[in-house]
Amino acid sequence: VKKIAVLTSGGDSQGMNAAVRAVVRSALYFGLEVYGIQRGYQGLLNSDIFPMDLRSVGDIIQRGGTVLQSARCKEFMTPEGQQKGAQILRDHGIDGLVVIGGDGSYQGANKLSKLGIKTMGLPGTIDNDISYTDYTIGFDTAVSIVVDAINKLRDTMSSHERSSIVEVMGRHCGDIALHAGLASGAETILVPEVEYSLEEVSERMKQNFAHGKRHSIIIVAEGAGSGDLVAQEVLKSCPSYEPRVTVLGHIQRGGTPTAFDRNLASRLGDFAVRKLIEGESDKACGIIKGELVTTDIDKVVNTKKPFNMELYELALRLSQ
């Protein structure tokens, strides 16, 4: 490859900027030309493509969001849209593309590679729902934000002996709920991967208070239900615990990335460029047991990430 481009797509995540910086600076270091594409695949179809140099990625390693901006693009899901995108890249002389995003973004990269563009996917999503990587860029920051919020909720909940129901992001994956739950000592963690009954949730809460606890924290991943629904049940079965619902929402997707996310993004961005130079294509980059790896995108998009039941059981055991 001689000329590569980079884009961010789908929901943004903290650390995407650090990844863009790494892609641009490593590419330039290895003698490639680099282009940025504004607003993901939508920007590609609009030919919103511009050259990037060392200074275009200055002062962004610490920033949340994405300087390249992001979009969800319906047109690019069609074969016509994909062909148009590949042609636009060819017209610019671009033969390699780094896509930073989640599952949908990977599917786009996969289609482009079938049309002759060399592609690399980097896992950019707070949900940690991508297979063949232990961590996605942004996940660590999102978990820290949730833990920080729960610390604050604990203070006021224990003053009033209330139960706190915290709804977190994670449409198909309970990892944010699980990791934040373990780190914050939540009594109950509801995730899409594990079935639960609302009666059991209330029962567990009653036991918590009976054992002398002064508050009870229930984390609900949005894919497992809504905080309001859980609160209604708690209100029915134990009104004295005065449930209060906090929906953390998009707060989880903003703010400065943690050092972990910046370092992961920097390593993966550089890795993707080196793999393109080595001639690899249609690959998802990830980190498994500390090692950077590439996996065929086809395999990654068709596999559900296994849920860590051991960690889930540990979190519940320790919060009794």
22 is annotated as contributing to ligand binding: yes
How many other CB atoms are found less than 10 A from the CB of residue 59?
A: 10
Helix (H) or strand (E) holding 17: helix 16-29
Per-residue binding letters, 68-107, with ligand F6P (x by CB under 6 A): ----------------------------------------
Q: List, in sequence order, every residue forming a beta bridge with 5; answer none if it has no partner.
A: 35, 97
Question: What's the min distance (Å) between Cβ of 12 and ligand F6P?
Answer: 7
Q: In the complex with ligand F6P, which residue's Cβ is closer, 24 or 224? A: 224
Question: What's the min distance (Å) between Cβ of 230 and ligand F6P?
Answer: 17
Contact present, 27 and 34 (Cβ < 8 Å) = yes
Compute the distance between CA of residue 320 and CA of residue 185 in angstroms, rounded to an integer.
Answer: 9
Phi first, then psi: give them for residue 289, nearest 5 degrees: 50, 40
**Should residue 170 be labelled a site residue for ligand F6P when binding is judged by CB under 6 A?**
yes
Question: What's the min distance (Å) between Cβ of 127 and ligand F6P?
Answer: 5
Residues 6 or more apart in contact with residue 38 via CB below 8 angstroms: 48, 49, 50, 68, 69
**Should residue 42 be labelled a site residue for ligand F6P when binding is judged by CB under 6 A?**
no
- Binding segment (CB under 6 A) for ligand F6P, from list 76-84, 147-155, 165-173, 310-318: 165-173
25 is annotated as contributing to ligand binding: yes
Coarse DSSP helix, strand, coil percentages of the chain, rounded to the nearest 5 percent: 50, 20, 35
Residues 6 or more apart in contact with residue 271 via CB below 8 angstroms: 285, 292
162 is annotated as contributing to ligand binding: yes
Contact present, 166 and 149 (Cβ < 8 Å) = yes
**Is 127 annotated as catalytic?**
yes
Question: What's the min distance (Å) between Cβ of 222 and ligand F6P?
Answer: 6
**Within 186-205, which residues bind ligand F6P (CB under 6 A)?**
none
**Within 235-264, which residues bind ligand F6P (CB under 6 A)?**
253
**Within 216-235, which residues bind ligand F6P (CB under 6 A)?**
222
- 114, 152, 160, 171: which one binds ligand F6P (CB under 6 A): 171
Both tokens of 124, joined, read: 């950019």
- Site residue total, ligand F6P (CB under 6 A): 9
DSSP one-letter string for 205-262: HHHHHHTT-S-EEEEEEGGG--HHHHHHHHHHH-GGG--EEEE-GGGGG-SPPPHHHH
Contact present, 268 and 18 (Cβ < 8 Å) = no
Among 127, 140, 261, 270, the one annotated catalytic: 127
222 is annotated as contributing to ligand binding: yes
Per-residue binding letters, 105-144, with ligand F6P (x by CB under 6 A): --------------------xxx-----------------
Contact present, 37 and 128 (Cβ < 8 Å) = no
**Within 3-32, which residues bind ligand F6P (CB under 6 A)?**
11
Helix (H) or strand (E) holding 6: strand 3-8
Burial class from Cβ neighbours inside 10 Å (0-12, 13-18, 19+) for residue 296 reads middle
Question: What's the min distance (Å) between Cβ of 223 and ligand F6P?
Answer: 8
Question: What's the min distance (Å) between Cβ of 102 and ligand F6P?
Answer: 6
Q: Is the dihedral of CA 2, 300, 88, 66 positive or negative?
A: negative
The binding site for ATP comprises: 11, 72-73, 102-105
The binding site comprises: 11, 21-25, 72-73, 102-105, 125-127, 154, 162, 169-171, 185-187, 213-215, 222, 244, 250-253
Active-site annotation, residues: 127
The binding site for ADP comprises: 21-25, 154, 185-187, 213-215
Point out which residues bind ligand F6P (CB under 6 A). Answer: 11, 125-127, 169-171, 222, 253
